Structure formats: C-alpha cells, structure tokens
Amino acid sequence: MKCIYPVLIIVGLIALPIGLRQLRPNPREEEDSIRLAAIETTASAAVIPAQPAIRDKVLVAEAKPALVENEITVSGTVEPINEVPLYSEVPGTVQRVLVQVGDEVRAGQILAELTSSELDQQIALGQRRVQQAEAARRMSAGELDHAHKQIEERQAQIRLRQQLLLRTERLIRYGALPKSWAADDFAALEAAQTTLREAELAENLVHSRVRAACTDIETAQAELDATRQLKEHLVVRAPFDGVITQRQAEIGGRARPESREATPLFMLEKRDRMRVVLMIPSRAAHDVDLERQALECVVTGHATHTFLVIPSSVTSVAEGGQSGLRTELQLPNPVDDFTGERMLVPGDVGSVTLRLGTSAQLASVPLSAIKQVEGHDHVLLVEQNHVCREVAVDIYRTEGAVATLFEGDVQVGDLVVAEGPARFRTGQRLAAASIEYHQQFRPTRFGTLPRDSR
C-alpha cells in the first residue's frame, strides 16, 4: 500500500497540465461564436423592425363562437321600377298645363291640352267633302226618280200597244180591217219595248251613280271621323298611376309625337309597383335559394304591413372592394286606406329576411373592435409577439355590443384589439404587460397565445 501512493502522485502531476489546457477557451472557436451571434442578431433585425412596444393599456378580446341561424336579413332602398316619357300623339301647340313636378296623378287624368290649326283645317275640308258627296247623292237620287218615271211611261205605252194590237187582230178576223193594220200595230209595240229597254239601261246607270255617291259619303265621313278622333288626342292623359318627375311642357310650346327629335312633355314615374335592390354578401350567396321561399319585405315606417316581394333579377357583381349578388325584388305599392295615397315612396328602406340552406359557426367580437377604413369594416388581430395586423371583415349581424362576422380572416380563438382599434396600425407591437382582457371575451384558458404562436 505504501508503494502505491508515490505512483498516484506522479500520475496526478502528469494529468494536471492536460486538464488545464482543456479548460482554457479556444481563441478560434470563441471568434466563430461571436461572429455567428452577430449574424443572427442582424437577421433578426431585418425580419422584425425594431419598434418600441406600446405600453399604454390595451383591451384585448378573444373571438368567441356564435352559431348562425339559417337566415340572413339584408336591407335595400325602395326605388321606382321605371320612368316613362309622355309625348303627344299628334303634333300641336300646348294650350294648358294642368300638373307640376311632384304631383301624383291617376290613370286617365288630363295632364295637358293642345291645339292644332292643321287638324282644324283638315276637319273643315272633311266636312266640305261630306257635303259634296251628299249633294251628288241627292242629284243622282233625282235622276233615279226620273228614270223610274220614264220606265213607267214606257211600260204604259207597251200595255196600250198590246191592247191596240189585240183589237186590230180581232177586227181583221171579222173582216172589218185589212191585215196590213196588224203589222203597223206590231211594229209600234216593238218600238215601245225598245224604248223600255233603253229606259231600264238608263236607270241602271243612275243606280250606279247613286251607289258611288253613297260610297263617297261613307269615305268622306270616315275620314272626317278619323280626323276628329285625332283632335281628341290633343288631350294628354296619364297612362297609369304615378308621379310627375319632369315637365318640359310649356304654354305655347310645340308638342310632337315620339321620335328621335321630339322632346317628351312629361316624365311619369310608375308607383303602383316598386322595387327594392339588395346586396347579398358573396359568403352567404351560395346558401340562398330565392325561388324556393316566399319573401316578405318590411319597410321603415310601415312596420305593421308586410309586402310580398318577387325576385325579378339576380346579378353577380364585384365593386368597391365588395362582391355578392345584386338582387332586385319587386313589391306592390298599395293605396293607404286612411290617406288615399300610395304607401311607398322612393328612398324608403326595406328589409328582407332570407333563409339560408346551411348554418355555420362564426366568430363574434365586441362591436367596439370594429373600425371603419374608407367605408369598410376592419379589425386588428393580435398575432405572434403581440404584433398587430389589420384585416377587413364582413359583419353578419350585430346584437347589442356584439358583432358576428362572416367566415374569413378572423376565426374563433383569435385575439383582437377590443377598444380603440383606430389608435393602432399593422406592425405595431403591444407590450405584454399592457394587455388586459375584455371581461366578456376573456380567453377560455388564461394566458392563451395568439394563433400564430400556438
């Protein structure tokens, strides 16, 4: 045993310098570590800009789940279906104007009265033609009477000649007269028959003139009646119930039938039926079936009355950063029993509840988390390292102080700035110590991290 201790001492003295050399840092390795740390620091600075963290108190809320019912309510403005230009049916000069812009009119109501010297001249000329045709008929009728008398006279002569011929033949049989007398009486009878035929031909000609005169009278009278009917069109009437929206008719002004050069006397807006134009968001459009549901519209100011609406056109549009279905619904515009006027006017707001084919779980956030940017709704998400990111959202509905959002960039469990989002912008970082949670929208587990860091 005594001989082992010297050996151990000698081994320890040999190992001591080697151990000290291993504990001494390698200058080259130390230099490489310093260089690598510098590179990592530079890369980190390039990825995340160095911004001071916001240390003011920030109220943050976690997006909570909201079960969406299978319906959506959209609103739109009540508009007239169309405006109709009103022209005069015949050329004329405006004599009286009986309505002003904004007046409500009924179908058949007189709006303006015109005069036309051309029609007056045509009526006077037509009257003269009728009179001339009637005079020609009277003359022909007189000639016809004369022809009848001529025929009657010829017929009487024939009867007389027949009687004389019979008497002559009887006397010849008794030998009282020579046979030559019968030949003379027979020739006289034939001459009388010839004159009768001539009189009948003359009567037929006169009959033709009478018929032609009657036809001329009918034609002239029809033309006169047509001209008089044109004069009745010098009164401009409303073709349907509506409201006068424009008036170009002025007393003494010229009125013309519809053409490219003509100017309408009035613009009449139809009010018996109206339309409401809705924009169905694209995220709900695929779940809406307009043809398989009865649609009712509730109009502001008429809460006790519902209007049955009919889809008339559906168009897919994308404008102003938003997309969806532009839906036009037609609805009746009944007369109010109390006031006697149409219930709806342009500018009223109508709301229609549409049933959706499916239901979904959406995210809800405090209404105070919504901020307006150029007319669109936005929220501020709080992401990894408490950095803010602004995203656009579509609001499905609001109930009290809670806004339910359509599916999109905000999902259940995301953190959003709950109050004063207009104070922040994308890229700003919140100090962890400054974050406070909304009482109603606290995370389900205390200390919940943003989505990107989970």
The CATH number given to whatever domain includes residue 204 is 1.10.287.620
Domain end (from 323, 355, 387): 355
In a domain, 8, yes or no: no
Same domain flag for 242 and 110: yes
End-to-end CA distance of the chain: 65
**Phi, psi of 35, deg, nearest 5:** -65, -40
Q: Are 236 and 97 in contact (CB under 8 A)?
A: no
Same domain flag for 391 and 445: yes
In a domain, 4, yes or no: no
Q: Are 385 and 429 in contact (CB under 8 A)?
A: yes
Q: How many domains does the chain have?
A: 4
Look up residue 33 and give its two tokens: 């570590």
Same domain flag for 123 and 227: yes
Question: What pLDDT digit, counting tens, does each position of 268-305 carry?
Answer: 988 888 899 888 887 777 777 777 777 888 998 887 88
In a domain, 52, yes or no: no
Domain end (from 232, 253, 285): 232
Same domain flag for 226 and 246: no
Q: Are 144 and 206 in contact (CB under 8 A)?
A: yes
- The two beta strands, 435-437 and 58-62, are parallel
- What would the DSSP string read from start to end of 326-357? EEEEEEE-PBPTTTSSBS--TT-EEEEEEEBS
Same domain flag for 298 and 324: yes
Question: Considering the chain, what percentage of its residues have pLDDT values greater than 90?
Answer: 18
Domain end (from 298, 323, 355): 355
Determine the Cα–Cα distance for residues 339 and 74; give it in Å rounded to an integer: 29
What mean pLDDT comes out for the span 374-392? Answer: 90
103 against 43, higher pLDDT: 103
Same domain flag for 127 and 217: yes
pLDDT of residue 18: 52
Is-above-0.75 flag for pTM? no
pLDDT of residue 448: 40
Same domain flag for 122 and 214: yes
pLDDT of residue 38: 43
- The two beta strands, 402-405 and 361-366, are antiparallel
In a domain, 51, yes or no: no
Q: Are 426 and 376 in contact (CB under 8 A)?
A: no
In a domain, 401, yes or no: yes
In a domain, 44, yes or no: no
Same domain flag for 244 and 177: no
The sign of the torsion formed by the CA atoms of 331, 337, 342, 348 equals: negative
Question: What pLDDT digit, counting tens, does each position of 198-255 carry?
Answer: 888 988 888 888 888 889 888 988 988 888 888 888 899 999 888 899 999 999 999 9
- What would the DSSP string read from start to end of 232-299? HTTEEE-SSSEEEEEE---TT-EE--SSSS---SEEEEE-SEEEEEEEEEHHHHTTB-GGGS-EEEEE
Question: What pLDDT digit, counting tens, does each position of 336-381 carry?
Answer: 888 888 888 888 999 988 877 655 678 899 999 999 988 889 999 9
pLDDT of residue 109: 94
Burial of 281 (C-beta count, 10 Å sphere; 0-12/13-18/19+):
middle
Same domain flag for 245 and 278: no
In a domain, 293, yes or no: yes
Q: Which residues are registered as beta bridge partners of 114? A: 94
In a domain, 320, yes or no: yes
CATH number at residue 385: 2.40.420.20
CATH number at residue 93: 2.40.50.100
Same domain flag for 128 and 180: yes
Question: What pLDDT digit, counting tens, does each position of 105-123 carry?
Answer: 988 999 999 998 888 888 8
132 SS3 class: helix
CATH number at residue 285: 2.40.30.170
Determine the Cα–Cα distance for residues 388 and 23; give it in Å rounded to an integer: 48
360 SS3 class: coil
What does the DSSP 8-state code read for residue 422?
G
Total H helices, total E strands in the chain: 5, 24
Same domain flag for 217 and 130: yes
Question: What pLDDT digit, counting tens, does each position of 156-194 carry?
Answer: 888 988 898 898 888 888 888 888 888 888 888 888 889
Domain range spanning residue 248? 83-115+236-268
Same domain flag for 318 and 366: no
